[in-house]
Amino acid sequence: MDRSRSKRGYHYDQDSPPPRSKPRFDRRGGGGGPNTNSNYHRRGPPGGGGGGGGAPDRRGGFLPPDAAPPPLPPPPPPASSAAAGGGGPGQTTSFRILCPESKTYGFPASFINNAQDDSGAIITIHPPFPGDPVRVIETADGVPREADGRPPMFSPAQEALLMVHRRILETQPDDGDEDGEYGPRGKDARDRGKVTTRLIVPRQHVGCLLGKGGKIIEQMRSETKTHIRILPREQNMPRCVSLSEEVVQ
């Protein structure tokens, strides 16, 4: 027997599906559905991005409330005292001059102490190398450079270098040889009064000394009336000169 299926008395047959036990999901966020938040499809936890819902991360998402913050990057290493100009033990200017071994007796401790007090620089006589006829004497200071990177107007190391050079010229060789590379030569009258000085410079600074096309060294030759040249390494280079250094005479 068929039953009436009017709008007021709607009945399900035995084979029809049972009525819904849960309300229909409402994507519009209204109508009393299980999710009434209109921001459901936004990135973040339910309930919005504020009010303890988590902090935003770098990618635009959110971190859970109990998550630890990312670690901070490590601090940069401190600058060295020499680069920062803090007047520490770092050396900013140094000169190395070659002294004949026969004249090193002219540099006792008393002379070194007086020269250091007068110039404000540090003077070091390096130990000799076996078989070398010369020895390295180094002068250094810790005066910082100017703000634009130029060397200071007054260099204690340069002042001490002139004292050492003058002392080399005034000291007679202990072997009685007057024909050495430093001081007057007695055999030829044309060489009498001629002075030869040799400095050790880093190889990386030789280009600054020469200049483009040799213009800088030519200008120094003209202004000082001296003959300046860089000695070739094949010319009996002393062992105290490393492979990363050159000798300027």
Using DSSP's 3-state secondary structure scheme, residue 199 falls into strand
Distance, CA of 154 to CA of 141 (rounded, Å): 11
Q: Which of 55-64, 136-145, 192-201 has the lowest mean pLDDT?
A: 55-64
Domains of the chain (ranges; CATH) run: 94-144+153-171+195-201+230-248 (3.30.1370.10)
Distance, CA of 241 to CA of 248 (rounded, Å): 12
Mean pLDDT computed over every residue of the chain: 74
Per-residue pLDDT band for 78 (boundaries 50, 70, 90) equals: very low
- Give yes or no for residue 141 having a pLDDT over 80: yes
What six digits make up the tokens of 123?
């003077």
**What pLDDT score does 202 carry?**
92
What six digits make up the tokens of 53?
């819902």
User: Which 8-state DSSP code applies to residue 58?
Assistant: T
Short-list 172, 147, 160, 48, CA closest to 114: 160
Mean pLDDT, residues 41-56? 51
**What pLDDT score does 107 carry?**
95
Mention every residue, 6+ apart, whose C-beta is less than 8 A from residue 153: 146
Per-residue pLDDT band for 40 (boundaries 50, 70, 90) equals: very low
**What pLDDT score does 77 carry?**
47
**What pLDDT score does 81 carry?**
34
**What pLDDT score does 225 carry?**
92
Distance, CA of 173 to CA of 179 (rounded, Å): 10
Mean pLDDT, residues 230-242? 85
**What pLDDT score does 246 carry?**
93
What six digits make up the tokens of 31?
């109508």
Could you count the other beta carbons within 10 Å of the beta carbon of residue 119?
A: 21
Q: What is the pTM of this model?
A: 0.58
Mean pLDDT, residues 207-230? 92
Q: What is the pLDDT of residues 181-203, one digit of tens each?
A: 544 444 555 556 688 899 999 99
**What pLDDT score does 200 carry?**
95
Mention every residue, 6+ apart, whose C-beta is less than 8 A from residue 144: 85, 87, 92, 152
Contact (Cβ atoms closer than 8 angstroms) between residue 105 and residue 52: no
Using DSSP's 3-state secondary structure scheme, residue 116 falls into helix
**What pLDDT score does 148 carry?**
83
Residue 209 phi/psi, 5-degree rounding, is -75, -40
Q: What is the pLDDT of residues 151-185, one digit of tens each?
A: 778 889 999 999 999 999 999 887 655 545 544 44
Mean pLDDT, residues 216-243? 89
